[in-house]
Homo-oligomer: A and B are copies of this chain.
Amino acid sequence: MRMRVVVPFDATEPKTRLAPVLNAAEREEVAQRMLRDVLDAVVTLDDVVEVDVVATAPVDLDLGSSFDTPARVSVDDRPLSDVVNGAISETVGDGESLLVVMADLALATPGALDRLVQSSGDVVLVPGRGVGTNALVVRHPAFRADFHGTSYLDHRRAAADVGATVESVDSFRLSTDVDEPDDLVEAFVHGGNRTSEWLTSRFELVVSEAEGRVTLTRR
């Protein structure tokens, strides 16, 4: 089944919860590197006809000739749910499905995304930590998304309400979005090349002797 991919990207003060460890310019840079890692993984998938990065504000991102798959950046300042529901309306049906992947899934790999798109179900969800939704496949035209609060549970109900079958995918890589300083540890160890290289050149892993916890500190 042909598949369109939408990657929503927060270009307006991205990743503010990383402020305890990264300054504003660094947060912008790491956000773009995570996005590029996500795109590198997305374009390996079969049957992708188009990749749309939908940014909340104008952003200087040159995707140029880096991918064989047509990829473009557009600006749309509507709330995330409206953007995704617009894409569902435009796309789903007539043998075409929609994959939505958040731009901060720095641990995404081709293999993890392939497990997602190979899962059956009219709606396939990847829960994020904290009951969010990190990625989803929509194959049922009546499904509508709502990303507020406990969206993973809400999306399961919304799918059932329109008679859509729903599946979930069990992936640490896709369930880990990078929102808080602790998440950067995961990106440091398991992240895509662009993100992990950026982090490893600036930080190192430190084991706190007191609690045994692992954190990042500046080199």
Measured CB to CB, the residues of A under 8 A from B are 109, 111-112, 115, 127, 129-132, 148-150, 152-153, 170-176, 182, 185-186, 189-190, 205, 207, 212-214
The answer to whether B205 touches A131, judged by C-beta atoms less than 8 angstroms apart, is yes
Q: Chain B CB within 10 Å — which of A130, A190, A207, A212 has the most? A: A130
The answer to whether B171 touches A207, judged by C-beta atoms less than 8 angstroms apart, is no
The answer to whether B214 touches A150, judged by C-beta atoms less than 8 angstroms apart, is yes
- Copies of this protein in the complex: 2
10 pairs of A and B residues whose beta carbons are closest in the complex: A149-B207, A172-B175, A131-B214, A172-B172, A130-B214, A170-B173, A170-B171, A170-B172, A131-B189, A112-B170
The answer to whether A185 touches B111, judged by C-beta atoms less than 8 angstroms apart, is no
| Complex-state Cα separation, A205 to B171, whole angstroms | 23
